[in-house]
């Protein structure tokens, strides 16, 4: 079961190129399996009688078999509930040959396994984060980018719960240079890009 609500708002009345969006959803997954069966009576063939061309059957489990169906324990059950909330502000605008953009996004996530079978599984998993990105390009040829994430997880002790993860990048759109025009019939797009940053997970 998935339920989601999303809101988008154009904020160009404050400044051109600015907009806001928010989204929340809840996701619930549940499943189970049931096994039913019986224990058959087992026999072994011994003492072949050649005149009658038959065997004598001797029971292996005369008291261990059943002639009725019953529930076989150990069926799996799973119930997982997830809540997610996201809010983001975006800015994108061009000034002649200069293009700038920025984004700021925050997330809240919580997951709980109601059918947990271990202590670790029974603990809720919660995340809180704030991320951002800003970019600049000149004449759609030279690009620069900065990103960051400030993310937290309940899996860590409270003094070590949050981490800061930055990254930077630069790119050159070679195919947008004038000297590249004679080659566009063979190579329509060529871009050189490099990034360096830090990531983390829980």
Mean pLDDT, residues 42-63 taken together:
86
Query: What value does the CA radius of gyration of the chain take, rounded to a whole number of Å?
Result: 32
Residue 52 has pLDDT above 80, yes or no: yes
pLDDT grade for 5, boundaries at 50, 70 and 90: very high
pLDDT of residue 22: 97
pLDDT of residue 50: 82
The larger pLDDT score, comparing residue 122 to residue 165, is at 165
Between the two ends of the chain, the Cα-to-Cα distance in Å is 26
CB 81 within 8 A of CB 27: yes
pLDDT of residue 116: 74
CB 130 within 8 A of CB 150: yes
pLDDT of residue 200: 87
How far apart are alpha carbons 60 and 152 in whole angstroms?
Answer: 61
Q: Where does residue 151 rank: exposed (0-12), middle (13-18), buried (19+ CB within 10 A)?
A: buried
Among candidates 26, 28, 127, 24, which has minimal Cα distance to 83?
26
Helix (H) or strand (E) holding 189: none
Distance of CA 115 to the CA centre of its chain: 20
- Provide the token pair at 18: 């600015």
Return the DSSP state at 202. Answer: -
pLDDT of residue 76: 76
The larger pLDDT score, comparing residue 58 to residue 118, is at 58
6-20, 51-65, 155-169: least confident range: 51-65
Residue 137 has pLDDT above 90, yes or no: yes
pLDDT grade for 54, boundaries at 50, 70 and 90: confident
Mean pLDDT, residues 156-172 taken together:
94
């Amino acid at each position: 079961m998935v339920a989601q609500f999303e809101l988008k708002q154009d904020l160009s009345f404050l400044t051109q190129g600015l907009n806001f969006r928010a989204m929340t959803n809840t996701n619930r997954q549940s499943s189970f399996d049931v096994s039913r069966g019986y224990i058959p009576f087992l026999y072994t063939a011994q003492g072949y009688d050649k005149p009658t061309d038959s065997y004598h059957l001797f029971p292996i489990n005369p008291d261990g078999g059943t002639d009725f169906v019953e529930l076989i324990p150990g069926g799996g059950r799973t119930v997982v509930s997830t809540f997610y909330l996201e809010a983001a502000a975006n800015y994108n605008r061009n000034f002649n040959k200069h293009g700038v953009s920025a984004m700021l996004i925050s997330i809240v996530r919580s997951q709980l396994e109601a059918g947990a079978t271990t202590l670790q599984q029974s603990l809720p998993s919660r995340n809180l984060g704030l991320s951002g990105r800003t970019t600049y390009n000149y004449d759609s040829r030279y690009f620069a980018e900065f990103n960051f994430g400030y993310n937290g997880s309940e899996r860590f002790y409270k003094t070590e719960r949050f981490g800061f993860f930055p990254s930077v990048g630069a790119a050159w759109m070679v195919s947008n240079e004038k000297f590249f025009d004679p080659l566009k019939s063979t190579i329509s797009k060529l871009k050189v890009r490099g990034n360096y940053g830090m990531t983390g997970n829980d």
